[in-house]
Structure 1
């Protein structure tokens, strides 16, 4: 594990969880869908472009007040700011969620936000890797080497 465990990490995790709930997608769903842009990047981009509604799960769009859902995205981004000292405490987050009279500060950039040029480089790299894999698989014989990986799972249960 890298970094330091702290209360602010819990705030970050809560922010990501809030964005997952609002979007209806898990953070790792963005990786599996072939998208280079992650949940935080997508939320940040939509927030900056004024298109935060594009992030929202269709069920929430139909059944929830727009202002509440946008406020949840705003709070999620505040919790996921790169600078740990800028993240609110959970007590503050609780107040933000329950008191609409509180004016929310503007969030700063979350960590690991890819720039457009980084996204293009990653897409080109992925495309080139795909072409190399196709050409190498065509040139290898049918007796391809297989690897067997082992994994152990530990399940803990309470008394």
Structure 2
């Protein structure tokens, strides 16, 4: 039996319910040949409905104790959102004790595949493929993500804080337009609400803002911080968590800050695009990225300001202040009944690029 005791009411979305048999037929009974990936709480399949519409089906694992709240949250939140830079939820199914989400099918995988995954390996054999993620494409993706986030924060009927903005949650359509996905961690803010506190810290280390990772305080500016990290990853082609002590940096944010203060910004640029990029746009984006990851959340720009910076010529940008660093720690222990890790009080820490759902700062 499916129970829900969360904040949002899934019964308001009855019109989106699919028959289980429809989804089963669309995916050829969840055939291995139809499997296209694994999400945070289950596997994802490509399917074709009877009318020929291609869909992506996320089937949440029955064995997982996690995901129930996130499932309901996603259904209710995404069902109310319509924007070209957000993945569209087409429906869901709760029959046979299954929890299934049905999305529009987005053919070009996720952004992390192109930035950090097999795509980079394929470039070794076919250098011409670099045009698929040239600087022009990356800039378009950056602007598209900013437009989608502006819609979530300001232009939709609801004010949505995503809380897990990262490369693997950005899907790319056939024209390489970005679509923000995975709203299981999202929260709806009330009118005039600017911040909320929680003891249940969810999201992905490395993308979390310091005030959220340490104190459970999240706001629109938490998403801005995550966007800043993501922007720097798009420029460098490196994961925030790929830095080690031998790089003389704790993570991408500390590395970018050092490069910026040394005034050698172009050293940050992915070697795949460095010779053919618009250098003024690259420097602009590095500047914006560092504004987004400032330690003082008040100083971080809103997405309306970010979009203006990205799309308006001759805008004077403020000088970035000290970033909110997220440091690595060796102090790790498991929480009861989980594989999560705690954080020390001495500073904001990271235990790599892994999603977490129940974490209590002490």
TM-score, normalized by the shorter chain, greater than 0.5 = yes
Aligned to 2:299: 86
Note the alpha carbon deviations across 1:53-111, whole angstroms, 9 max, x for none. 11110122122111110110000000000000000000100000001221111000101
Tell me whether 80-89 or 104-113 shows the greater mean CA deviation.
104-113
2:233 is paired with a residue whose SS is helix
Identify which of 12, 28, 40 aligns with 2:241. Answer: 28
Given the alignment of the two structures, is residue 42 of structure 1 paired with residue 216 of structure 2, yes or no? no
1:12 pairs, out of 225, 246, 263, with 225
Q: Which is bigger in relative contact order (C-alpha 8 A, separation at least 6)?
A: 1
TM-score (norm 1): 0.67
Of the candidates 275, 291, 296, which is equivalent to residue 62 of structure 1? Answer: 275
Runs of 4+ in structure 1 over 4 Å off: none
Q: 1:73 aligns with which of 286, 308, 316?
A: 286
The structure-2 alpha-carbon separation of the partners of 1:67 and 1:54, relative to structure 1 and needing over 3 Å to count, comes to same
Counterpart pick for 1:52 among 265, 269, 278: 265
Q: Give the number of equivalent residue pairs.
A: 118
How far did residue 3 of structure 1 move? 2.2
Cα 1:23/1:11, change in 2 over 3 Å? same
Worse-superposed segment, 79-88 or 2-11 = 2-11
In terms of fraction of residues, the more strand-rich structure is 2
The structure carrying a bigger helix percent of its residues is 1
C-alpha distance in structure 2 between counterparts of 1:36 and 1:113, whole Å? 14
Q: Match of 1:61, SS? A: coil
RMSD: 2.5
User: Which consecutive residues of structure 2, in runs of 5 or more, have no partner in the other structure?
Assistant: 1-200, 202-214, 331-337, 340-362
Q: Secondary structure at the match of 2:301?
A: coil
